[in-house]
Amino acid sequence: MSAGFTGPVDVTLRAHVEGLLTTAGPGGALPIVQAGEPVLRQRAATYTGQLGDLLVPFVEAMRRTMYAAPGVGLAAPQVGVGLALAVVEDRGSEQDPRERTPLPFRVLVNPDYAPADEPDGGAAQRVSFFEGCLSIDGWHALVPRLRRVRLTGQDETGAPIDETLVGWPARIIQHETDHLRGELYIDHAVPRSFASNANLVRLWGGAADPAPVAEALGFEIP
């Protein structure tokens, strides 16, 4: 167990995770639960060491699952484990207008975020882009999010995290941390903006620019 997590092992929870890892098999992905599962609507427990030495193989399995989906983030409740753990990674795209800068792989333990002021001293801004979720398979919707956030928490060794993220990386952090609060992106989305993944690509090329979608579907961009 990492020196950063000194709480007692939860035997029941550990057995549950062991079962998931055994079912996935070596190098396999974990099953992703879909909206309607109660674990997605419950606040995840603060991680204090409940998994002991299973933490490392568990987050590695989460990493494989995120890659296989594929996705840019995955929270533990999405694989049926109510602990405040998440993994994130995005290679980014220089041509993407959503400030999609690279977000290297990392493990987030007990993460939290707060609005961060702009460098010029201005108040935190909100921007709206389409989001999807591995636990709401097949759909996207427009979600207003903070453009700039301060991320706090720990990594998998227990070392503290305290940094500022901007643009698409900030959106990923908000999305995954919300999962640990029992929230889904649909709680914050513009209802009229819902579109199937297929239509979002077929009609609007993935909707990096939400304006044409808003015009076609008749909603205002927050």
CATH 3.90.45.10 fits 11-217, yes or no: yes
The whole-number pLDDT of residue 122 equals 77
Known binder of ligand: residue 175? yes
In this prediction, residue 32 carries a pLDDT of 98
Q: What pLDDT does 3 receive?
A: 55
Which positions are catalytic? 176
Run means of pLDDT, 10 residues per run, the chain, 222 residues = 79 97 95 98 98 97 98 98 98 92 98 91 88 97 97 97 97 98 98 96 93 96 95
Nearest to 88 by CA among 73, 108, 66: 73
Alpha-carbon span 186 to 222, nearest angstrom: 15
